[in-house]
């Protein structure tokens, strides 16, 4: 039986891309994990979640184990809205949809907006999972480079002007991680945020704002696009993966109620009452604003150690930005193929993610790599950069 024959064209097209998760290489035992975009093990509240589960099931018994019925399913939504309000984003109850992490949120937004004829704009580089998702819907992906101030809105405008002139289709959606971007760690400047919102109005596109790292600002917290959005063009995507635990799979979309209604239509995995209620019970005992401050302090300490280790150990020519929040640093090693180098690095005892996976046109990422300061300990970070610097130096001097 020829299985491919059963797939619609758009599915065949998607299946011809790089398989999902290709970027996630096996890491040998004992290797320092500067690749993992995970929260630090000691910052994952396993004891508190255990307590929350115990309290939940003692109080509610079977309720959170049915399809619906636990009052904490609604309560979780309220808790997320309260936190958004604190962060100066006005959101009502019918403007929020809880999802299985940011990934399902992104997939659902793509589902209601993109077909194979639609155009979408993404940052370059960008979050590899999001690239995978969009490529499941359309080939028409336009990339706009990122610099130290985030998405280059001048280039964006140039492309929009040119496409208009040439009567080429305009994009429907722009995907951005404006704050502490994955993988670059950069943040979109305020001026560019205003410009982006203006361009969206002018060229009639929608914005998917992925704010997975927004709670982790070392300095002042940047204004979200959502709070600048007067025309309901922004689909805001939040996540508790980075500030509570990714394994709970709790994310959400905040958008105009009509968008939410359409998104709900296509969300066919139903609610996740157990995970959602446990999370809600956990949040009853935790102030997210305080937790965010505490986590940020810890991550900043590690970011500084990473930054200083790079200065101390890395050979000349290697480049990076100073991180202002989030989980990541983005390193350029001019002239070196970071994909080829990974095997040597892992053998030497340190893992990273090669830059190519964050680019639609993978070749553009050959000389970059992503380092995460979230998961490894301070000692490991320092040691890891020392090891990596030797490997890099060898490659440069080859």
List binders of its own copies among 227-286 (CB under 8 A). 231-233, 241, 245-249, 256, 258-259, 262, 264-266, 268-270, 272-275, 277-278
Where in 336-365 is the site for its own copies (CB under 8 A)? none
Round to whole Å and give the CA distance between 277 and 33.
Answer: 32
We find the least distance from the C-beta atom of residue 30 to its own copies, in angstroms, to be 15
Nearer to its own copies, 56 or 385 (CB): 56
Of the residues 19, 167, 220, 398, which one makes contact with its own copies according to CB under 8 A? 19
Nearest to 373 by CA among 327, 330, 304: 327
The helix (run of H) or strand (run of E) holding residue 121 is: strand 120-124
Of the residues 34, 114, 199, 388, which one makes contact with its own copies according to CB under 8 A? 114
The helix (run of H) or strand (run of E) holding residue 109 is: helix 101-113
Round to whole Å and give the CA distance between 204 and 210.
Answer: 19
Task: Look at the chain and count its residues.
Answer: 398
Of the residues 72, 80, 97, 107, which one makes contact with its own copies according to CB under 8 A? 107
Round to whole Å and give the CA distance between 235 and 210.
Answer: 8
Round to whole Å and give the CA distance between 240 and 80.
Answer: 10
We find the least distance from the C-beta atom of residue 16 to its own copies, in angstroms, to be 11
Where in 176-215 is the site for its own copies (CB under 8 A)? 206
Yes or no: say if 331 and 318 are a contact pair by the CB < 8 Å rule. Answer: yes
Of the residues 93, 115, 162, 168, which one makes contact with its own copies according to CB under 8 A? 115
| 293 touches its own copies (CB under 8 A) | no
Stretch that binds its own copies, among 11-19, 220-228, 285-293, 309-317 (CB under 8 A): 11-19
Nearest to 252 by CA among 25, 91, 41, 72: 91
| 54 touches its own copies (CB under 8 A) | yes
Nearer to its own copies, 378 or 390 (CB): 378
We find the least distance from the C-beta atom of residue 196 to its own copies, in angstroms, to be 17
Nearer to its own copies, 170 or 396 (CB): 170
Nearer to its own copies, 22 or 155 (CB): 22
Round to whole Å and give the CA distance between 207 and 236.
Answer: 8
End-to-end CA distance of the chain: 50
Nearest to 174 by CA among 110, 111, 78: 110
Nearer to its own copies, 112 or 393 (CB): 112
Of the residues 32, 34, 49, 76, which one makes contact with its own copies according to CB under 8 A? 49
Nearer to its own copies, 44 or 228 (CB): 44
| 26 touches its own copies (CB under 8 A) | no
We find the least distance from the C-beta atom of residue 247 to its own copies, in angstroms, to be 4
Of the residues 22, 92, 172, 361, which one makes contact with its own copies according to CB under 8 A? 172
Where in 122-151 is the site for its own copies (CB under 8 A)? 129, 132-133, 136
Yes or no: say if 237 and 253 are a contact pair by the CB < 8 Å rule. Answer: yes
Cα–Cα distances (Å) from 257 to 36, 97, 111, in that order, read 35, 10, 17
Stretch that binds its own copies, among 7-15, 163-171, 306-314, 355-363 (CB under 8 A): 7-15
Residue 239's CB is within 10 A of a number of other CB atoms, namely 23
Round to whole Å and give the CA distance between 96 and 81.
Answer: 8
Nearer to its own copies, 190 or 265 (CB): 265
Of the residues 35, 104, 296, 367, which one makes contact with its own copies according to CB under 8 A? 104
We find the least distance from the C-beta atom of residue 53 to its own copies, in angstroms, to be 4
Q: Within 13 Å of residue 28, how many CA atoms lie on the same side as its CB?
A: 11
Nearer to its own copies, 276 or 389 (CB): 276
Enter the tokens of residue 321: 């930005």
Yes or no: say if 125 and 147 are a contact pair by the CB < 8 Å rule. Answer: no
Round to whole Å and give the CA distance between 126 and 181.
Answer: 8
Stretch that binds its own copies, among 111-119, 218-226, 312-320, 321-329 (CB under 8 A): 111-119
| 323 touches its own copies (CB under 8 A) | no
Residue 288's CB is within 10 A of a number of other CB atoms, namely 18
């Amino acid at each position: 039986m020829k299985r491919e024959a059963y797939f619609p064209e758009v599915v065949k097209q998607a299946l011809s891309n790089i398989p999902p998760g290709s970027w996630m290489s096996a890491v040998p035992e004992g290797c320092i994990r500067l690749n993992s975009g995970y929260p630090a093990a000691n910052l994952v509240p396993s004891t508190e979640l255990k307590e929350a589960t115990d309290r939940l099931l003692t109080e509610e018994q079977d309720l959170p184990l049915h399809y619906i019925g636990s009052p904490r399913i609604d309560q979780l939504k309220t808790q997320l809205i309260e936190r958004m309000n604190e962060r100066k984003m006005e959101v009502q109850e019918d403007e929020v949809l809880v999802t299985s992490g940011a990934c399902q949120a992104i997939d659902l937004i793509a589902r209601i907006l993109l077909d194979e004829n639609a155009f979408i704009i993404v940052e370059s580089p960008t979050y590899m999972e999001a690239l995978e998702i969009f490529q499941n819907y359309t080939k028409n992906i336009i990339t706009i480079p990122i610099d130290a101030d985030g998405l280059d809105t001048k280039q964006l405008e140039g492309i929009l002007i040119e496409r208009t002139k040439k009567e080429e289709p305009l994009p429907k959606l722009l995907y951005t991680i404006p704050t502490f971007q994955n993988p670059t760690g950069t943040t979109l400047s305020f001026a560019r945020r205003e410009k982006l919102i203006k361009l969206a109005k002018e060229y009639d596109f929608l914005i998917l704002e992925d704010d997975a790292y927004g709670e982790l600002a070392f300095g002042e917290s940047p204004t979200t696009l959502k709070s600048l959005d007067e025309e309901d063009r922004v689909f805001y995507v939040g996540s508790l993966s980075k500030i509570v635990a990714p394994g709970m799979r709790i994310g959400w979309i905040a958008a105009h109620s009509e968008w939410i209604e359409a998104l709900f239509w296509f969300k066919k995995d139903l609610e996740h009452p157990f995970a959602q209620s446990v999370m809600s019970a956990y949040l009853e005992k935790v102030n997210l604003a305080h937790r965010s401050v505490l986590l940020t302090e810890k991550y900043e300490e590690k970011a500084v150690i990473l930054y200083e280790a790079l200065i101390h150990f890395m050979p000349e020519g290697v480049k990076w930005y100073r991180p202002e929040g989030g989980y990541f640093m983005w390193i350029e090693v001019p002239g070196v193929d970071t994909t080829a180098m990974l095997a040597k690095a892992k053998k030497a005892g340190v893992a990273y993610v090669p830059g190519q996976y964050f680019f639609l046109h993978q070749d553009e990422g050959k000389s970059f790599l992503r380092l995460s300061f979230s998961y490894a300990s301070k000692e490991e970070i320092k040691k890891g950069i020392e090891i990596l610097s030797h490997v890099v130096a060898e490659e440069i001097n080859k």
